[in-house]
Amino acid sequence: MATSLISLIAVFTIVRAQDFGYEGIKGPSHWGEQYNSCFGKFQSPIDINSLTVKHAKLPPLIFNDSNVPISKTVMKNNGHTVMVSIDSDQRPTIFGGPLSGTYEFAQLHFHWGENDTMGSEDFIDGHSFPMELHMVFYKKQYRNVRSAMENSDGLTVLAFFFHLDDEDNKNYIEITELLPNVSEPETSTTFTRLKSLKDLILNDLNEYYTYHGSLTTPPCSEVVTWIDFKRSIPLSHAQIEVFRTIQDNEGHHLTHNFRPIQPLGDRDVYLITTLDGDDGLFGKDDARIDEPPQNLDHINSEYKQSTLTESTTYKTINNGDNNGLDDHPIPEQRQNDIETTTTSHRRPFHRPKGSDANYIAQANLCIFISFCSILRALSFKI
């Protein structure tokens, strides 16, 4: 009985979470009246100040969508945005960077504005972009999105900004052609020509801002590791304009669907660049490297252990399988679907030749530096 009641409440909450908008009494300033988290201290979006962010170096973010059947990729108008999901057991995964563990793709969607001067959710230095893509992943160990949302590290969102370009972006032609098929809420359509979700994002995942924040729609859960890429994706005015033609739940054109900026509070935002083989554990530019976020030491350590204990062949997409992610080591083997896997297992992945030696050398260097520090503390002259 109690379980049924909890389930009913959960379903009710999810249904209610669909009942929001971007104007009037359903607008962002009223979300907190029904969803307490929307008044929280770790809300998104934020305005990222590039002059005050901390700098750190981390292992690469590894995005894998090999063997994902694009024919099962569906785009739906949910009344708030257009959302792309994959109706298959095989979905992209991501790990590395600031993430502890593997995250599995849930969906991607877009935010845009009434005109090309606005539309993105996060800002950079007070600047908004005409559109923003959110690629949402949940931590696999939590088994599904709903359970993941009960944990502070449950979700990660890869955020990509768009900038205006005179030319159409060829990789977005199918999306803009399909948008009229989903002009009404609760309609969906299937991709037939898109080759890979990677075609919709950047090739270079090596430089990004990261911070802890929330969902930007109700219930505003503060469970998101945000990863905002510094480079933006080109898109033409005509292509963005098509997004503004879809209808919301009220039957109006969905001309804008971005939440206003929220206070940063005392949160740190990090600008991350990827460690390369010569950088050492904390980078070679010591003058501009800040202390990593609290959990990053742990992540570096975990990454180091992974690279030391797993032995597989290194492969990049450039090595005969160039789908666009230059120089990124990618996983070669897929995990089983999270819904059918009861025991987690570490996924083998590939790394540059010689990385074992590099990380062993880094570990030895760290031990040596720590030893020297202890000697100094004990006032020994060395």
End-to-end CA distance of the chain: 70
In single-letter form, the type of residue at position 201 comes to I
Which range of residues in 47-55, 56-64, 127-135, 176-184 is near Zn ion by CB under 5 A? 127-135
Six-digit token pair at 338? 């999270």
In whole angstroms, the minimum distance from the beta carbon of 65 to Zn ion comes to 20
Q: Which is nearer to Zn ion, 44 or 307 (CB)?
A: 44
Rounded CA separation 372/235 (Å):
53
Query: Site for Zn ion (CB under 5 A): how many residues?
Result: 1
Q: Which stretch binds Zn ion (CB under 5 A): 29-37, 132-140, 268-276, 352-360?
A: 132-140
Which one of the spans 49-57, 63-71, 133-141, 197-205 is the region binding Zn ion (CB under 5 A)?
Answer: 133-141
Q: How far apart are CA 292 and CA 191, in angstroms?
A: 41
Could you confirm whether 80 is annotated as catalytic?
yes
- With CB atoms as reference, the residue minimizing the distance to Zn ion is 134
User: Judged by CB, which is closer to Zn ion: 116, or 228?
Assistant: 228
Part of the chain binding Zn ion (CB under 5 A), chosen from 95-103, 134-142, 284-292, 337-345: 134-142
**CA atoms of 111 and 255, how far apart (whole Å):** 10
Please, what is the minimum distance in Å from the beta carbon of residue 102 to Zn ion?
21
CA distance 333 to 336: 10
Binding segment for Zn ion (CB under 5 A), chosen from 94-102, 131-139, 332-340, 371-379, is 131-139
Q: Which of 57, 134, 244, 304 binds Zn ion (CB under 5 A)?
A: 134
Query: Count H helices, E strands: the chain?
Result: 7, 15
Indicate the residue among 91 and 134 with the shorter CB distance to Zn ion. 134
Catalytic residue among 30, 80, 109, 253: 80
Q: Which residues contact 214 (CB under 8 A, 6 or more apart)?
A: 37, 40, 42, 43, 44, 220, 221, 222, 223, 224, 262
What does 257-313 look like in DSSP terms, one character per residue? --PPP---TT---EEEEE--TTS-TT-S-GGG-PPPPTTHHHHHHHHHHHHHH----
Q: Cα dihedral sign for 195, 200, 201, 204?
A: positive
Task: Give residue for tokens 């503060």.
Answer: 222
Comparing CB distances to Zn ion, the nearer of 155 and 296 is 155
Least separation in angstroms between CB 174 and Zn ion = 21
* Shortest Å distance, C-beta 112 to Zn ion: 11
| Of 63 and 110, CB closest to Zn ion | 110
Taking the C-alpha atoms of residue 253 and residue 357, their distance in angstroms, rounded to an integer, is 57
- Contacts for 308-312 with beta carbons within 8 Å, 24 or more apart? 308/356, 308/359, 308/360, 310/346, 310/348, 310/349, 312/348, 312/349, 312/350
User: Residue 109 Cβ, how far from Zn ion at the closest point, in Å?
Assistant: 5
Closest distance of CB 218 from Zn ion, Å: 12
Query: Residue 31 phi/psi, 5° resolution?
Result: -60, -40
* Cβ at position 254, least distance to Zn ion in Å: 13
Which residue's CB is nearer to Zn ion, number 111 or number 350? Answer: 111
Cβ-based nearer residue to Zn ion, 134 or 212: 134
The SS3 assignment for 96 reads strand
**Residue 212, interface with Zn ion (CB under 5 A)?**
no
Residues taking part in catalysis? 80
Footprint of Zn ion (CB under 5 A):
134
